[in-house]
Amino acid sequence: LFMEINMNINGMLPNNTFENKVILITGGGTGLGKSIGEYILKLGGKLIITSRKLDVIEKTANEFNKSFPNSTFAINGDVRKIEDVENVIKEGINKFGNIDMLINNAAGNFISPTERLSANAFSVIIDIVLKGTCNYTLTLGKKWIKNKKSGSILNITTTYAMTGSGYVIPSAAAKGG
């Protein structure tokens, strides 16, 4: 799927589309977040990637920085914890001077029949996918407003948020929110 997505988006945007732009990607160390990040780098951008898994984002940042020197800053944090969100934004701005775009990509799911999930398991997914998106959007949005800066936000969703699907009910509910 990721290879197909990459093949379809190559060449869609003009060269240097993201020149002098800093993009923050939650869940930026693997999967779709990593693919989007690589594409942004090819178009001249700089990245702040974040995840709870420091080893994962450091590995991705090292890969990116080999091909695009000094382009990627990895900082771990949990989207569910407002202190972590504030720290990622603060340290990202300290590193690159600004954040121009936010890509809310962090996600989680338990691939399980819904009736087997505990209320806590359901809440964990809502907290990551929905509340994590809110935490970053509100925190960075308020900073942009205060500093009279423009910014862009892209929230990654999925078709099953509208159609539903087995084994992904908490994620579908959160993505729909």
Q: Which residues contact 114 (CB under 8 A, 6 or more apart)?
A: 122, 167, 169, 170
Active site residue 136: no
DSSP string of the chain?
A: -HHHHHHHHTTSS-TTTTTT-EEEEETTTSHHHHHHHHHHHHTT-EEEEEES-HHHHHHHHHHHHHHSTT-EEEEE--TT-HHHHHHHHHHHHHHHS---EEEE-------S-GGGS-HHHHHHHHIIIIIHHHHHHHHHHHHHHHTT---EEEE---THHHH--TT-HHHHHHHH-
Give the active site residues: 160
